Amino acid sequence: MKRNRSILLALGLLLPGLLYVSSQASESTLPDGQQVQCEDKGGQWNPLKTASAGQCNLPTLDAGKICNDSSECQSACVAEGSMLPGLHTSGICYGWSLLESECLNPVSRGVTQGSTCDE
């Protein structure tokens, strides 16, 4: 009985450490299924700086289509080039689902909104 108690005590002390090491190894060696799915769809995987997850930036089907408002696009309606805010113009549908790491000039109801840069 004393021997069984010693074995149980040893397992109780070792098991949490073994589980921790095992979970750490599996997290780093398993491929990220979301990233693979994203890239299979032609997307670009953007890892996040502060988290272990990332974001999928998918190409849009209406990229380059003439638009007057983002409601006409899968992503956003943007003016080509840099234009001052308040100008009446048409834009084009942006080619990616995420609006990041780009300087874009949104067009809303046919009017430029001014360039914004997201980093």
Q: Which segments within 36-81 are labelled E, that is strand?
A: 44-47, 54-57, 66-67, 77-78
Question: Mean pLDDT, to the nearest integer, of 66-78?
Answer: 97
Question: Mean pLDDT, to the nearest integer, of 91-95?
Answer: 96
Higher pLDDT, 80 or 88: 88
pLDDT in tens, 19-41: 333 333 323 333 458 888 988 88
Q: Which residue, among 114, 44, 59, has the nearest Cα to 86 in the 3D structure?
A: 114
Predicted confidence band of residue 101 (pLDDT cuts 50, 70, 90): low
The yes-or-no verdict on residue 66 having pLDDT over 50 is: yes
pLDDT for the residue numbered 32: 59
The yes-or-no verdict on residue 88 having pLDDT over 70 is: yes
**Would you say the C-alpha torsion 104, 106, 112, 117 has a positive or negative sign?**
negative
pLDDT in tens, 40-61: 888 888 877 555 578 889 999 9
End-to-end CA gap in the chain:
64
